[in-house]
Amino acid sequence: NAGVTQTPKFQVLKTGQSMTLQCAQDMNHEYMSWYRQDPGMGLRLIHYSVGAGITDQGEVPNGYNVSRSTTEDFPLRLLSAAPSQTSVYFCASSPRAERSYNEQFFGPGTRLTVL
Amino acid sequence: GDSVTQMEGPVTLSEEAFLTINCTYTATGYPSLFWYVQYPGEGLQLLLKATKADDKGSNKGFEATYRKETTSFHLEKGSVQVSDSAVYFCALSGQIILTGGGNKLTFGTGTQLKVEL
């Protein structure tokens, strides 16, 4: 198993550009989520999905879109990049959405810089 | 809403020293509690967890006990090594919202640990 994979590893954008951060997992996990990590703020939830076709907003969803057409993939779209979106982005997955004790498995992260 | 507070870093220790990283939480109901570790340049990985009051999670010499009376989940290790240098995150997973709220984690801000020879 590759676990949770993310691409690209690094990305530099100009303000106003759009892009998609890719996330895939091969563990048949039901639950997937996106977090951003900023200095002094820990990780904050952007969007999450409890299964294919079902997504919902987290704590900081503005400026981001998601979709979940398959169990494996959960891409994060930046619609019009802003410098405030400079951050490290982590995708995570977990076996069952309704089990709060489940471990979440994290990808290696994407470091995004918006100029 | 749910929140997690953990001690500020960075923490610098000598090898074989005793480690404590404090973590307290605020949550409704009975959350599960976690410690995740992030090594340089990597994603987070689960270090240990506890799912109910008085449970003790342990792994790789690290321990933490779920204390409901003090709403705490402090991380301890009796003798740290240079290889333990990393950022440590305390997190909780709250009760599931019936509308499909899922398995959402609330994180603390992280504590950087540096262990020197």
Model pLDDT, residue A95? 87
Give residue B50's pLDDT.
94
Contacts of B100 in chain A (CB under 8 A): 50, 54, 56, 97
Taking contacts as CB-CB distances below 8 angstroms, the residues of chain A near B88 are none
Average pLDDT, chain B: 90
Ranges under pLDDT 50 in chain A: none
Tell me if B80 sits within 8 A of B13, measured CB to CB.
yes
The average pLDDT across B4-32 equals: 92
Whether residue B103 is predicted with pLDDT greater than 70 in this model: the reply is no
pLDDT at B23: 97
The pLDDT value recorded for residue B97 is 54
List of residues 6+ apart from A21 with CB closer than 8 A: A6, A7, A8, A11, A34, A75, A76, A77, A78, A89, A91, A110, A112
Distance CA A41, CA A43 (A): 6
pLDDT of residue B9: 85
A108 contacts chain B (CB < 8 A): yes
**Chain B residues within 8 A of A33 when measuring between CB atoms:** 102, 104
Give the model confidence (pLDDT) of B47-57 as tens digits. Answer: 999 998 999 99
The full length of chain B comes to: 117
What pLDDT score does A14 carry?
97
